[in-house]
């Protein structure tokens, strides 16, 4: 059972966040004739730290979804339990923030108009998805406990006092 859950999380990670952060940016840079080598060597280290941090954030959240919530990041196979552990104690959408951090780092490494427009579009799409689908669905599924969580933990910001049940 655990192996199957881990496999589903890994499969989703490769095809969705992997496509969003690797395949699409690479395609945009390749098609627009963009340079696939960093243009400013002084930004390589901070951008690399941001990419690593974004990956760690995503993987921690995927772990929490599987272990705490008994589900995956995929909307078609969400966690069975409300996940309020780990990074979710301080912000409601750390997984999306991790992905956006990776995209921001790529924009620093490869200044390209198409890539920047793409990153902003992804951020807007995340926001619209969260507000119009995810939050209402979680409110319906988890009721009062989710509404309490929303009152105490910011959607995109960072709570200095961690949420506790």
pLDDT tens column, 117-164:
999 999 999 999 999 999 999 999 999 999 999 999 999 988 887 877
145 falls within a domain:
yes
107 falls within a domain:
yes
Q: What CATH number did the domain enclosing 72 receive?
A: 1.20.120
Return the HEC string of the chain: CHHHHHHHHHHHHHHCHHHHHHHHHHHHHHHCCCCCCCCCHHHHHHHHHHHHHHHHHHHHHHHHHHHCCCCCCCCCCCCCCCCCCHHHHCCCCHHHHHHHHHHHHHHHHCCCHHHHHHHHHHHHHHHHHHHHHHHHHHHHHHHHHHHHHHHHCCCCCCCCCCCCC
88 falls within a domain:
yes
164 falls within a domain:
no
159 falls within a domain:
no
- What's the pTM? 0.91
23 falls within a domain:
yes
157 falls within a domain:
no
122 falls within a domain:
yes
Note down the domain range covering 109.
2-152
pLDDT single digits (tens) 35-71: 677 777 888 999 999 999 999 999 999 999 988 888 8
Q: How many independent structural domains does the chain possess?
A: 1
């Amino acid at each position: 059972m655990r192996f199957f859950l881990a496999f589903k999380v890994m499969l989703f990670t490769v095809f969705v966040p992997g496509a969003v952060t690797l395949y699409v940016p690479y395609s945009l840079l390749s098609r627009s004739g963009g340079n696939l080598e960093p243009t400013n060597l002084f930004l390589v280290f901070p951008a690399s730290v941001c990419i690593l941090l974004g990956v760690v954030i995503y993987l921690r959240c995927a772990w929490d979804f599987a272990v705490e919530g008994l589900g995956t990041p995929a909307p078609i196979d969400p966690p069975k339990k409300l996940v309020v552990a780990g990074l979710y104690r301080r912000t409601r959408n750390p997984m999306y923030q991790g992905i956006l951090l990776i995209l921001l780092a790529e924009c620093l490494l490869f200044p390209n108009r198409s890539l920047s427009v793409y990153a902003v579009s992804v951020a807007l799409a995340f926001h619209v998805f969260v507000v119009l689908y995810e939050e209402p669905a979680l409110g319906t599924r988890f009721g009062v406990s989710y509404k309490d969580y929303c009152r105490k933990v910011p959607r995109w910001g960072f709570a200095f006092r961690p949420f506790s049940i």
